[in-house]
Amino acid sequence: MSIDLNADLGEGSAFDAELMPLLSSCNIACGGHAGDEQSMLVALSLAQQHNVCVGAHPSYPDQAQFGRAVLAIEPSLLQASIIEQIAQLQHLAAQQGTKVRYVKPHGALYNQAARDPDLAQLLITSIKQLDPTLALMGLAGSVLLEQAAAAGVQTIAEGFIDRAYELDGQLRSRSLAGAVHHDQTVALQQALALAKGMPFPSYTNVPIRLTVQSLCLHSDTPQALAFAQAVRTALVAEAMTIRAAC
């Protein structure tokens, strides 16, 4: 058995350099919610150093709210921004002799596209326009991944180590209590259940089950490094190979 272990990087966390060697994939912020040319270059260099697969992490162009609020923006302008964000990371990656392999939307863009067919299609169209070989990472069981697969885009179903789920498989909104796991035992149990395809408690404690190819943790939480170390150790102990999904 194998599983991908990813994290959102290049967002200003103090742990990026320590996190990178624990990962098999990294989602690099490319200017929409966080990041600039320098932070992208640093993250790309770390990824190369540790042989970590590179993904682009575009978002609504809204650094003020860290891309975590739905932005009222014309679809054509949003698509132009998404393409520009990914293309900038692609350009910098090519300069360093590496390649962006997949795209994972960030924050509100990720959550909205998981259930909004029109926004999902906008993301899929953007990816195919840039590079049809790019894979798309998204919420397991989502509309986004269903439409991407139907359009011939490689998909990577993602589960979250440090986020609570609602009964319908959607992530619990960060505006609500209990959306983020801070207890390492809870996060570790959820990670192992996701990796094995086993049931785990939703926020209401009713069990849910998701089929995932990649596990994500957020680098902007204080527990990120400890969670990553504990999860990697536990996965290896379960004889699971940690490797990129694309």
In percent, the amount of the chain with pLDDT more than 70 equals 100
Residue 99, pLDDT > 90, answer yes
Supply the mean pLDDT for the chain: 97
Model-level pTM greater than 0.85? yes
Residue 53: CATH number of its domain? 3.20.20.370
Q: Would you place residue 105 in the very low, low, confident or very high pLDDT band (cuts 50, 70, 90)?
A: very high
pLDDT score, position 112: 97
pLDDT score, position 25: 98
* Lowest mean pLDDT segment, chosen from 53-57, 73-77, 100-104, 219-223: 219-223
Q: Would you place residue 210 in the very low, low, confident or very high pLDDT band (cuts 50, 70, 90)?
A: very high
pLDDT score, position 220: 82
pLDDT score, position 219: 87
8 Å CB contact between 151 and 160: no
Tell me how far apart the alpha carbons of residues 105 and 116 are, in angstroms, rounded to a whole number: 13
Three-state DSSP state, 199: coil
- Full domain range(s) for residue 80: 2-10+14-242
Q: Which residues are CB-contacts of 222 (< 8 A; sequence separation ≥ 6)?
A: none
Give the pLDDT mean for 52-75: 96
Q: Would you place residue 67 in the very low, low, confident or very high pLDDT band (cuts 50, 70, 90)?
A: very high
| 161-195 residue pLDDT tens | 999 999 999 999 999 999 999 999 999 999 999 99
Residue 246, pLDDT > 90, answer no
Q: Would you place residue 207 in the very low, low, confident or very high pLDDT band (cuts 50, 70, 90)?
A: very high
Residue 239, pLDDT > 90, answer yes
Residue 153, pLDDT > 90, answer yes
Three-state DSSP state, 3: strand
Q: How far is CA 109 from CA 44, 68, 220, in A?
A: 23, 8, 18
How many structural domains comprise the chain? 1
pLDDT score, position 221: 86
Give the pLDDT mean for 10-30: 95
Q: Which residues are CB-contacts of 77 (< 8 A; sequence separation ≥ 6)?
A: none
Give the pLDDT mean for 53-72: 96
Tell me how far apart the alpha carbons of residues 142 and 116 are, in angstroms, rounded to a whole number: 9
Burial pattern 9-42, b for ≥16 Cβ within 10 A else e, equals: bbbebebbeebbebbbbbbbbbbbbbbeeebbbb
